[in-house]
Amino acid sequence: MKRSMYTVLTFVRINTKRFFRDRLALFFSIGFPLIFLFVFGSLNSGSGSVSFKVAVINQSNTSFSQAFVKQLDNSSVLKVSQDITTIEAAKAKMSQSQLDAAIVLPSGFGAVAAGIQYPSGEARVLYTQNNQQSAVALTSILDAQFKAINAKFVQTITPLTVTSEQINERSLSAFDYTFAGLLGFAIIGMGIFGPVNVFPELKKMGILRRLSTTPLKVWQYFLATMIGQAFIGLISLAIMFIVAITVFHLEVVGNWLELAVFLVLGIVMILGIGLALGGWAKNERQVAPLANIIVFPMMFLSGTFFPRFLMPEWLQNVSGFLPLTPVIDGIRLIATEGKHLIDILPQIGLIGLWMVVIYFIAFKVFRWE
Tell me what pLDDT residue 166 has.
54
User: Is residue 157 within 8 Å of residue 102, measured between CB atoms?
Assistant: no
| pLDDT per position as a tens digit, 108-143 | 888 887 667 788 888 999 988 877 888 888 888 888
| Rounded (10°) CA dihedral 231, 351, 194, 287 | 160
Angstrom distances, CA of residue 1 to CA of 7, 9, 220, 222, 308: 10, 12, 11, 16, 45
52-150 sits in which CATH class? alpha beta
pLDDT band at 346 (very low <50, low <70, confident <90, very high): very high
**Can you name the residues that pair with 52 across neighbouring β-strands?**
78
The pTM (predicted TM-score) of the whole model is 0.68
What CA–CA distance (Å, rounded) separates 274 from 362? 9
Q: Is 291 exposed, middle or buried (0-12, 13-18, 19+ CB in 10 A)?
A: buried
In angstroms, the CA 276 to CA 192 distance is 9
**Smallest Cα–Cα separation from 200: which of 145, 281, 136?**
281
Q: Which of 154, 153, 143, 145 is nearest to 71 (CA)?
A: 145
SS3 158: coil
Q: Quick check: 264 pLDDT over 60?
A: yes
Assign 104 to helix, strand or coil.
strand
DSSP for 53-80?
A: EEEEEE----HHHHHHHHHHHT-SSEEE
- Strand 101-105 and strand 124-126: the pairing is antiparallel
- pLDDT tens readout for residues 157-184: 667 666 666 555 555 566 777 788 888 8
User: What pLDDT digit, counting tens, does each position of 279-300 carry?
Assistant: 777 766 777 788 888 888 888 8
- Per-domain residue ranges for the chain? 8-45+176-365, 52-150
| 46 vs 240: CA distance, rounded Å | 18
Please compute the mean of the pLDDT values over residues 230-259 and round it to a whole number: 86
Alpha-carbon gap, residue 114 to 108, rounded angstroms: 13
Least-confidence region, from 60-64, 256-260, 365-369:
365-369
> Tell me, what DSSP letter sits at residue 344?
G
